[in-house]
Structure 1
Amino acid sequence: MAKVTINENRCKGCKLCISVCPKKIIIVQDKLNSKGFHPVGISDMEKCIGCAFCAMMCPDCVIEVEK
């Protein structure tokens, strides 16, 4: 199983990672981070296949994928 780690305080909620996730498990959270943005999160880590498309797409390099 893959593990996705998102640095929520650096995420600006651009949603680019959401558009490339083949399993559609990345969501925008309701809470705000320290900079006033809604960061993304993972809805169901069990479904993650570890493709790392989200990490490659992130312009701020806030996503890490471990297999």
Structure 2
Amino acid sequence: MSASKGHVIIKASECKGCQLCIEACPVHVLKLAEKLNHMGYKPATYTGEGCTGCGICYYTCPEPGAITVFKGWDTWPEKAMCPVCQKETKVYHAKNGKDIVLCAECLNPIS
């Protein structure tokens, strides 16, 4: 599999397992999770590598906010320890009036 130029975050709590994103992904890097979410669905999940950052999964998903796609992932050098995930992950600098550093795995703020 090729190096990841993008990264996909799928909020399991919002996914209903319709598989539209899985079918639409041109590089086939999405799959159904083994475990059920709190609503009893098997949510889609990212395999962890190979994303091109095209965003097709984002546009095909009927659930607003369930999928976030990051582009230029291969150029993100900064990492930090996420207090929620409890692991070191790459960080995203969101600019919503001020610079907020977010975990690129769960989208929770990192202070």
Measure, in 2, the Cα distance between the counterparts of 1:32 and 1:46: 22
Bigger strand share = 2
**Which residue of the other structure, out of 24, 30, 37, is the alignment partner of 2:34?**
30
Give, as a single letter, the amino acid of the residue that structure 2 aligns with 1:4.
V
How far the C-alpha of 1:19 sits from its partner, in A, is 1.0
Counterparts of residues 46-61 of structure 1 (less than 5 Å)? 46-61=49-64
Q: How many residues align?
A: 66
Q: Does 1:10 align with 2:14?
A: yes
Greater radius of gyration (CA): 2
How far the C-alpha of 1:40 sits from its partner, in A, is 0.6
TM-score (norm 2): 0.57
How far the C-alpha of 1:46 sits from its partner, in A, is 2.5
Give, as a single letter, the amino acid of the residue that structure 2 aligns with 1:47.
G
TM-score (norm 1): 0.92
Kindly provide the CA deviation profile for residues 6-41 of structure 1, in whole angstroms up to 9, marking residues without a partner as x.
Answer: 110110000000111001111001100011100010
Give every structure 1 segment of 4 or more consecutive aligned residues whose post-TM-superposition deviation is greater than 2 Å. none
Bigger RCO of structures 1 and 2 (CA < 8 A, at least 6 apart)? 1
Alpha-carbon contact 2:29-2:49 (below 8 Å) kept: no
Q: What is the Cα-based RMSD across aligned positions, in Å?
A: 0.9
* Identical amino acids, percent of aligned pairs: 39
Structure 2, unpaired ranges of 5+: 72-111
Bigger helix share = 1
Structure 1, unpaired ranges of 5+: none
Measure, in 1, the Cα distance between the counterparts of 2:49 and 2:11: 19
**Which residue of the other structure, out of 18, 23, 32, is the alignment partner of 1:19?**
23
